Amino acid sequence: MKYQDEINRRKTFAIIAHPDAGKTTLTEKFLLFGGAIQVAGAVKSNKIKKGATSDFMEIERQRGISVATSVMTFEYKNTLVNLLDTPGHKDFAEDTYRTLTAVDSVILVIDAVNGVEEQTHRLMEVCRMRDTPVIVFVNKMDRDGKFPFDLMDEIEKDLNLPLHPLTWPINMGREFKGVYNLYEKSLNLYSPNQKGIEDNSIAIEDLADPVLDQRVGAKDAAQLREDVDLLDGVYGDLDVAAYLSGQVAPVFFGSAVNNFGIREMLDTFVRIAPNPKCRETTEREVCPGDAKFSGFIFKIHANLDPRHRDRIAFLRVCSGRLERNKNYKHVRLGKDLKFSNPYTFMARSKEIVDDAYPGDVVGLFDTGNFKIGDTLTEGENFMFTGMPSFSPEMFREVVNKDPMKTKQLEKGVAQLTDEGVAQLFTQHGGNRKIIGCVGELQFEVIQYRLLQEYGASVDFVPLAFYKACWITGDKKKIEEFVRFKQANIMEDKDGNLVYLAQSEWFLNTERQNNPDIEFHFTSDFKKA
């Protein structure tokens, strides 16, 4: 029974948003409520370094954005919460998309001032593909923004996401006075710069209670009564089953920077968010209650601790129990691996655990065995499916500025491209190295990390390629094609041949001229 109890008390979710919507700030406040940190905003003045707890890479602190998914575990009301804070910037969307395969639900942060933004659309499309349950947090209510009804209408229309408000704001901007909790029938009064987690709620079962007028003023009390009457008529009680199937999203209003409106959402989250769910594999559906262990790698990060040059593979446990110092089968390699120090995380700091259960995210020390999407099992032969991969859209040649650091450069490029946000191509029969990415900012991060973490100084020279295509087919035809197109033929890290097309026209021409060769837009062709 203990095993099932452990599963039932776990919730694994990601926070997603457009950049600057307040996602990392919200993460920080969750950690405060979970007792994982002591004072909201403490990280802005402590001795470690300026920046949020979840922003552990130096470049993140410098630029004020998240460029890698952080994993944090904390307890709240006897629930073990695995929280994944994701990058919002579109150039790092791949990391976020993969992270969404490892969670059971998401909290979507919407900026009350800007409403639905470009990256919000992309992220919700991924959630829709998996019917992921969504809770919406409308942030920055302490600023003048869009009216709540207008904002809800915009979210419903633009994201095709039916909403169900569970708290409702009283004014906004300078006049923001708090929120009314529609579920608990209580008023939570707003006070700016609230650093602690004290509860300022006042029970108001009946909105006709004159206490409401005394607390927020007659005008705002009248408006709240009118709004709540309308909301009750339209929405009624939340259909939890509809939320769990991704058909309706509960909505909360607040201000993350002021630590306001978060307790209500966190209380609701631990009450209704899904426990670990079943997942598809190449052989069968694997469920958390299955006795045998299984899990998959959704992220790899080199140099989590720059002092030790470590490489950590992030594993989502899907079934059974992961035990320390026990052999597990690496399905792709067909060999057994044993882990003496599996970790749980608080961003960069980590703690060794003896076991982990479905829903948990653990870090495994990796000597180069893992790739994103790899499956570990207790002897079975199946692979988890649904891990997205992407074809690069930008290409840069790596130019070494310091020949004395060639070895460091080789190691750095190999390790950083293993993380999955960039792909490394080497010229067929040569040493020319090309990195392919989806976004411009990824090159900046790689260049910075190569210098800071490996001491390798590089320039990136832009190349005018349109798309990378993995080629398979008739062996003789491919040999002939490679001979004629040598300047455009590369090898990926696994030795697969890749054709870099200069333009869409060139690509279409080659496909027509070479019917015996298949051109694949991602390296997933082997699984197809």
Instruction: Write the pLDDT tens digit of every residue in 94-134.
Output: 667 778 889 999 999 999 999 998 878 878 887 887 889 99
* Residue 490 clears pLDDT 90, i.e. is over it: yes
**Cα 178 → chain centroid:** 30
| 71 φ/ψ angles, rounded to the nearest 5 degrees | -115, 130
Q: What is the rounded distance in angstroms from the CA atom of residue 496 to the CA atom of residue 474?
A: 14
434 falls in which pLDDT band (50, 70, 90)?
very high
Entry pTM: 0.78
What are the DSSP E strand ranges found in 255-354?
Answer: 279-280, 285-286, 294-302, 311-319, 322-323, 327-330, 335-338, 343-346, 349-352
DSSP string for 200-238: -EEE-SSTT-HHHHHHH-HHHHHHHHHHHHHHHHHH-S-
Paired tokens of 288: 């958390």
307 falls in which pLDDT band (50, 70, 90)?
low
Query: What's the CATH number where 404 sits?
Result: 3.30.70.3280
| pLDDT for the residue numbered 91 | 46
At 212 the three-state DSSP class reads helix
Q: Tell me what the mean pLDDT of segment 338-358 comes to.
A: 79
368 plus 405 within the same structural domain: no
Asked whether residue 386 is domain-assigned, the answer is no
Q: Please, which residues bridge with residue 282 across strands?
A: none
94 plus 234 within the same structural domain: yes
Paired tokens of 392: 């690069």
169 falls in which pLDDT band (50, 70, 90)?
very high
Counted domains in the chain: 3
Q: Please, which residues bridge with residue 491 across strands?
A: 426, 497
197 falls in which pLDDT band (50, 70, 90)?
low
368 plus 431 within the same structural domain: no
**Which residues span the domain enclosing 465?**
394-526
Q: Which is higher by pLDDT, 421 or 493?
A: 493
Q: What is the rounded distance in angstroms from the CA atom of residue 227 to the CA atom of residue 251?
A: 15
* Residue 493 clears pLDDT 60, i.e. is over it: yes
| pLDDT for the residue numbered 440 | 79
Picking from 188-202, 214-228, 293-307, 400-414, which range would have the lowest pLDDT averaged per residue? 188-202
| 151 φ/ψ angles, rounded to the nearest 5 degrees | -65, -45
108 plus 189 within the same structural domain: yes
Paired tokens of 27: 């993460």
421 plus 341 within the same structural domain: no
DSSP 281: B
| pLDDT for the residue numbered 50 | 38
Q: Tell me what the mean pLDDT of segment 65-69 comes to.
A: 42
Q: Tell me what the mean pLDDT of segment 375-404 comes to.
A: 88
| pLDDT for the residue numbered 55 | 47
Q: Tell me what the mean pLDDT of segment 45-60 comes to.
A: 42
Query: What's the CATH number where 310 sits?
Result: 3.40.50.300
88 falls in which pLDDT band (50, 70, 90)?
very low
